[in-house]
Structure 1
Amino acid sequence: MIAKTQKKKNNLKQGMLNNVMRQFDNAADIIDLNPNIRKILEVTNNELVVHFPVRMDNGEVEVFTGYRVQHNNSLGPYKGGLRYHPTVDIDAARALAMWMTWKTSLARLPYGGAKGGIQLDPKKYSQAELERITRRFTYALGDNIGPELDIPAPDVNTNAQTMAWILDTYMSTKSPTERSTNMHVVTGKPIGAGGSEGRDRATGYGVFLTIKFWAEQKKVDLKDKKFIVQGFGNVGYWASHFLEKEGAILTAVQDASGSIYNENGISAEQLWAYSEANNRNINGFSGANSLENGDFFGLDCDIIVPAALGNQITAKNAKKIKAYLIAEGANGPTDVEAEEILLKKGVDIIPDILCNSGGVIGSYFEWLQNRNGEIWQLDEVMAKLEKKLKESFTSVVDTAKNRNVDMRTAAFIIAIERLEQAYVQRGIFP
């Protein structure tokens, strides 16, 4: 059983890297990408693997493995999240770092792409242990991160508190005169530690906005439309929160603890309160019935929001999907074979590098505020985020129409062409 589970995890990670490379190759072929630039973008710039010891609450020492992959920085500092999950390894980090490069380029941000994390299940450790693990990981990364070099942010199983620990540890290694200029070494921090209003909801709000833009384009009223969400962390919750405000109905949710369903609707607010009180698990929520995990994606609904891990929608379950829109809140949730099936069925897919880019855009706003000594109000942040995402969405839709391609390919074309232009104009050293 253990060997079978490990094999599944390995396939998931290898599949993510394979998916992102196939997506890249497809777009690169269409635009006839300069072969020399293609060689550069196919590989990562830097890959860091660190092993570090941490003392547990019981006095014993455990050795952890952490990763940070920096894919490309031709447009600016590396940018990307840190996740704490058993599936984290070098291949997963490579795939996620590449997606970040395309995401920041598509959003026209002055960033490159990076990703990383620690291979662990955070639910097995106390808060005090997680703090020590995070601080020791930050120390191990050393000067490989920095406010003008590589800026981490929250991702799966990390949050504002995690970023505050990283910030404090990083700043403690700097001289007193340097500390005030290093606040933007991480984004997604608590408000009191230099964080930005709205950063907590930015990714989920972005998912909602892209669905809203899609609905406006298709002349679809979101009122009474049924949607299901896989993953009920920050992204899944906030996407649900804003969709409910539009009158859409959340009918099913799935997370690591199981799946729940109520055809009459599940209150996102009530489910979030229950999840927070139950170690971020939805299983047992009284406002819905339990559901077999294998039946989740085949439910009768209009919209699916996969907001958990990669490779969740596969050729096996894509055939069961009845929804006509998939909004990718997670990174790489749909594999290439599944996407081919869905597109043939007429299902629209808002690709991850567009759909969940609200998070990195929100991070950019936080980084700017820290850098310039400014504090923006929530309504200003949300308005700027909506404007930025609208520009990206419109650009993707127009490119898809002009090139006669799907939205993902269009998004990749825009991202890659911006990077190609930077290399052509700047040249390659020496």
Structure 2
Amino acid sequence: MINEQTVEKPKPLKRGMLDNVLEQFNHAADVINLNPNVRKILSITNTEIIINFPVRMDNGDVEIFTGYRVQHNNALGPYKGGLRYHPTVDIDAARALAMWMTWKTSLAGLPYGGAKGGIQIDPSKYSKNELERITRRFTYALGENIGPEHDIPAPDVNTNAQTMAWIADTYMSTKSTSERSKNQHVVTGKPTGSGGLEGRDRATGYGVFLTIKFWAEKNNISLAGKKYIVQGFGNVGYWASHFLEIEGAKLVGVQDAFGSVQNKEGISTEDLFNYSISNNGSILGFPEAEPFDSKEFFSIDCDICIPAALGNQITKHNAHTVKATLIAEGANGPTDVEGEKILMERGITIIPDILCNSGGVIGSYFEWLQNRNGELWQMDEILEKLEKKLRTSFEKVVNYTEENKTDMRTAAFSIAIERIEKAYILRGIFP
């Protein structure tokens, strides 16, 4: 006889980002009565690439790294999406992020599909020279799986303009001399001195700010004096905070990979940013704020919450503690499906990721066009174009939400998926 007390019950599997994006997709597909054949196509990825590649370290040892590139769909144009360097990168994460990119580019009205990838690595453990060799070796291994008219990577978590410059140089080096200049737009997010776009560094954060601003205008709310918290203080979190502060909003809490800080009276965005640079990227120890329990971060009293770090941060375990009335998703998939249900039941508005953080891919599109056409655009022109394009997307989502009495995420997904569905119906399926 088995003693039931000694039998260990299996632990429930942790819900992943892929589970979330598929549930979001299927919900929207049901709402719009998506063509069943198109549904089959969009439920899976087109291409999945896993590369194990060796790199020699500074001490002479060789390490093996695993890199990923998942190409979800290209019905509307070349694959587009970032490359991230993080220990959480795996095939399922890349699949989920690639699908979100497909919906994001479609919603923004761009001539792109969706892709994502990266390397399973903690970049803080490697020197700059090692990261360069890792990046160049990964680029070489990807070969013709990327290209300016096929698949165009961009920066993401723990990658930046320097990373993109290494990728562009490596890729162009594989081409003949006469072809090199035609391949500069193989990546976007490059340094301005190497074909990059002025303002690309702030495009995502500026877009997050703009969607919050549009929401405030729609609801006749002033941002002056509104309290907000930011999870993640990289490019997205910093620039969103920078522009919100100009509007008179007050930053009262920040969390990064090292911990959390808060100050009910307000935190200077610039002071915190400069401190983090001098403190190896960490906000901990900032003299004008107090440390705060990271597990309770979302419970900080505020009006606006900007999760701008990683996925699955707001879940059923902490959604009930959220004090904000507005969630602006600066990251991809920061709110899981179960957490979102709780937030919606509590009447909290969510500006979904595929709308809220789409300023980055819109900026990438501008850079791609700039390289392709041999043009140079000025900062004010770029920000004006970005605002115009984001306002169009925002108004489409709001109108759909009101007309169909649904939430903003369902509206955004529905608009994005319907555009792709139309492309398939018009073109047909080969053969």
TM-score bin (small chain): over 0.9
- The 2-side partners of 1:218 and 1:16 are apart by 31
Question: 1-side partners of 2:211 and 2:332: how far apart?
Answer: 15
**Aligned counterparts of 2:365 and 2:132: Cα–Cα separation in 1:** 25
Residue type matched to 1:293 in 2?
S
* Residue equivalent to 1:424: 425
Q: 1:289 corresponds to which letter in structure 2?
A: E
| TM-score normalized by the length of structure 1 | 0.97
* Residues 1:56 and 2:52 aligned together: no
2:105 aligned partner: 104
2:381 is matched with 380
What amino acid is aligned across from residue 89 of structure 2 in structure 1?
V
Please tell me the residue identity of whatever aligns with 2:295.
Answer: G
Could you state the TM-score of these two structures normalised by the residue count of structure 2? 0.97
Q: 1-side partners of 2:418 and 2:162: how far apart?
A: 37
Per the TM alignment, residue 279 of structure 1 is displaced from its structure 2 partner at its CA by: 2.2
- Unaligned residue ranges in structure 2 (runs of 5+): 1-10
Kindly indicate whether residue 52 of structure 2 is the aligned counterpart of residue 20 of structure 1. no
Q: Look up the equivalent residue of 2:265 and give its one-letter code.
A: N
1:363 aligns with 2:355: no
Give the structure 1 partner of residue 94 of structure 2: 93
Matched, 1:171 2:169: no
Other-structure match for 2:183: 182
CA distance in 2, matches of 1:68, 1:278: 33
Match of 1:304 in 2: 305
Matches within 5 A, 1:84-233: 84-233=85-234
What is the distance in 2 between the residues matched to 1:15 and 1:53?
A: 29
**In the alignment, residue 392 of structure 1 is paired with which amino acid?**
S
Q: Distance in 1 between matches of 2:396 and 2:385?
A: 17
Shift of 1:276: 1.5
Q: Which has the larger radius of gyration?
A: 2
What residue number does 1:4 align with? none
* Superposed counterparts of 1:63-82, under 5 Å: 63-82=64-83
Q: How does 1:246-285 map to 2 (within 5 A)?
A: 246-285=247-286
Q: Distance in 1 between matches of 2:61 and 2:314?
A: 40
1:194 maps to a residue whose letter is G
What is the CA-CA distance between 1:277 and the residue it aligns to? 1.9
Aligned amino acid, residue 193 of structure 1: S
Output the CA distance in 1 between the equivalents of 2:194 and 2:214.
Answer: 33
Partner of 2:33: 32
Post-superposition Cα deviations, 1:119-178, rounded to whole Å, max 9, x if no partner, equal 000000011100000000000100100000000000000000000000000000000011
Residue by residue over 1:85-129, the C-alpha shift from the partner in whole angstroms, topping out at 9 and shown as x without a partner, is: 000000000000000000000000000000000000000001110
TM-superposed CA distance for 1:421, in Å, is: 0.1
- 2-structure distance, mates of 1:143, 1:110: 20
- What amino acid is the match of 2:107? L
One-letter amino acid of the counterpart of residue 25, structure 1: N
Q: Over residues 18-50 of structure 1, what are the superposed CA-to-partner deviations in whole Å (9 max), with x where a residue is unaligned?
A: 000000000000111000000000000000000
Q: Deviations for 1:45-81, whole angstroms, at most 9, x for unmatched residues?
A: 0000000000111111000000000000000000000
AA aligned to 2:68 is: Y
The one-letter code of the counterpart of 2:187 is V
1:405 partner SS: coil
| Mapped partners of 1:60, 1:277: distance in 2 | 31
The AA in structure 2 aligned to 1:359 is: G
Give the secondary-structure state (helix, strand or coil) at the position aligned to 1:387: helix
Aligned residue pairs, count = 421
Q: Which runs of 4+ in 1 moved over 3 A?
A: none
Q: Which amino acid aligns with 1:425?
A: L
Aligned mates of 1:372, 1:263 — CA distance in 2: 49
Mapped to 2, the partners of 1:53 and 1:73 lie a distance apart of 30
Cα deviation code 1:295-328 (max 9, x no counterpart): 2101110000000000000011100111100000
> 1:275 Cα shift?
1.3
